[in-house]
Amino acid sequence: MKKEPIKVKELAAAKRVNSFDEVVSGYIEEEALAEAARCLQCKNPVCISGCPVGIDIKKFIYHITKKDYKAAYFTIREKNDFPSICGRVCPAEYQCRKACVLSKKGLPFASAESINIHFLERFSGDYGMKNDLEISSQKNDKFSKFKVAVVGSGPAGICCAGELARSGIKVVVFESLHKTGGVLRYGIPSFRLPRDILDFEIDYLKKMGVEFIPNFIVGKAKTLDELSSEGYSAVFLGLGAGIPSFLGIKGENLCNVYSANEFLTRVNLMSAYKFPEFHTPVNIGKHVVVIGGGNTAMDAVRVALRLQKMNGIEPDASIFYRRTENELPARRLEIEHAKEEGVNFKFLVKPEEFIGDEKGFVKKIRCLKCELGEPDESGRRRPVPVKGSDFEADCDMAVIATGLKANQLLTKVTPDLKIDKYGDVVVNPETMETSIRGVFAGGDIVGGEGTVIEAMGMAKKASQAMLKYLSEKSI
């Protein structure tokens, strides 16, 4: 008899919209055991091919079935340093779960039947965290004389820092903001990734001897050359994606039209939802329109809806997306959560103009309706605006979540660092080394926006190459 997938417990939608508390509660032991027992332990575990860092999924799930959670944790840690983070934010339904043999084929994402690998990963990660399981350092005397600089404390930076520190290298992480974590702190809301998880992981790195220097803008306060002359033997650039894309339509600079980065940074990093206890303000509209269909758009619309609830405003928060629900690039779980919480979805609409009032605040949005045309280079059907289908909708606050361009703070002042036409850093894909010897890169600054796990995968690859580079140097 086929066993039903084990649903994960969640805070009730009506309750959770009044706070930033974590939505997904995670499996308890019995649930994890039951879900792990569904795994077929395939001879040819294709799920692993779906994991950007190649976690031995079959093996870690096997360990769970044997109640050897410690072994499950360490199995994941062989490939992924932050299972508690990735188990919460990985778009598993596009990766390992889609590859799982139990998933129905021919869908753009995994069907519900596939093993809930991400929840099992989270269970194992949280077990490791609660029980203070430590990865033994493989301190190597030949590395202890080296000092390495990591630029940026986001997913790529902290992953690289951990890998190098474990080999006995002195790692210093430079962060331009006043707090560490990068997008995990300013971008992803705490209802998806509680801050104590992030703090735990960063404190763990500190305990391993990694030094964090916030408020330090590499490229501005010090150049890469200066870091190298100060004794840093290698550098890892985890600069992240930086500049938010705007739509280039009329009225986009009206008040209360935010980039997702600005809106989320105000709320997540600066705690604007606790204004005036915290001093950074954020405005909250009665009719909020979020443009885009990715995870950032889902985060923004769900934050906006919470702010409406917390401020006694009748919730009206919508996603406006050019394609249809099937093409939404966000995690399916976030889409489901957004729906449960009361987010409206308007599909096949293309914003044309923001209309403002006399004080310069947005009050309406004008859009065109779209039809789906031929597939474009991304393989998704292209939205084609329908002439004369203009309509207006109430919108006294808008959030634009249509992507980011490269962070250029460092690359602009480092002419030797080769970048591509998008401003992303060019690397040797085998080693992640840039055009400057001894300078490596990974994460969104390489190849544009990706996921947390992809960034970590690149960082891990870079760290291996950095160890090789340093051991050659030490001869």
Note whether 280 binds another protein by CB under 8 A: yes
Q: Which residues 6+ apart lie within 8 Å of 205 measured at CB?
A: 158, 161, 162, 165, 173, 212
**β-bridge partners, 391:** 367
How far is it, in rounded angstroms, from Cα 467 to Cα 428? 16
> Would you say 124 or 411 has its CB closer to another protein?
411
> Would you say 242 or 342 has its CB closer to another protein?
242
8 A C-beta contact, residue 227 and residue 429:
no
Note whether 214 binds another protein by CB under 8 A: yes
Note whether 229 binds another protein by CB under 8 A: no
Amino acid letter for position 221: A
> Would you say 274 or 468 has its CB closer to another protein?
274
Binder among 9, 130, 137, 246 for another protein (CB under 8 A): 246
> Would you say 52 or 152 has its CB closer to another protein?
152
Note whether 283 binds another protein by CB under 8 A: yes
Question: Of 41-49, 77-85, 246-254, 302-310, which segment contacts another protein by CB under 8 A?
Answer: 246-254
> Would you say 163 or 175 has its CB closer to another protein?
175
Binder among 9, 130, 139, 220 for another protein (CB under 8 A): 220
Binder among 43, 105, 359, 421 for another protein (CB under 8 A): 359
Note whether 231 binds another protein by CB under 8 A: no
Q: For strand 241-244 and strand 257-259, is the pairing parallel, antiparallel, or unpaired? A: unpaired
Unique residue bearing structure tokens 């045309």:
373
Strand order in the sheet with 257-259: 257-259, 397-400, 288-291, 317-320, 344-346
Q: Which of 135, 139, 32 is nearest to 81 (CA)?
A: 135
> Would you say 33 or 243 has its CB closer to another protein?
243
Residue 247 CB, shortest distance to another protein, in Å, is 10
Note whether 216 binds another protein by CB under 8 A: yes
Amino acid letter for position 185: R
Binder among 41, 66, 107, 281 for another protein (CB under 8 A): 281
> Would you say 253 or 428 has its CB closer to another protein?
253
Q: What is the DSSP string of 378-444?
A: TSSEEEEEPTT--EEEE-SEEEE-S-EEE--TTGGG-TTS-B-TTSPBP--TTT-B-SSTTEEE-ST
> Would you say 342 or 448 has its CB closer to another protein?
448
How far is it, in rounded angstroms, from Cα 426 to Cα 440? 10
8 A C-beta contact, residue 376 and residue 382:
yes
Segment 394-413, which members bind another protein (CB under 8 A)?
407-409
Unique residue bearing structure tokens 């006399």:
358
**β-bridge partners, 235:** 149, 439
Binder among 222, 366, 380, 382 for another protein (CB under 8 A): 222
Note whether 308 binds another protein by CB under 8 A: no
Measured in degrees and rounded to the nearest 5, phi and psi for residue 222 equal -150, 140
Note whether 271 binds another protein by CB under 8 A: yes
> Would you say 257 or 348 has its CB closer to another protein?
257
Segment 138-167, which members bind another protein (CB under 8 A)?
none
Q: Where does this chain bind another protein (CB under 8 A)?
A: 176-178, 186, 214-217, 220-222, 242-244, 246, 248, 252-256, 258-259, 261-262, 265-266, 270-271, 275-281, 283, 359-361, 407-409
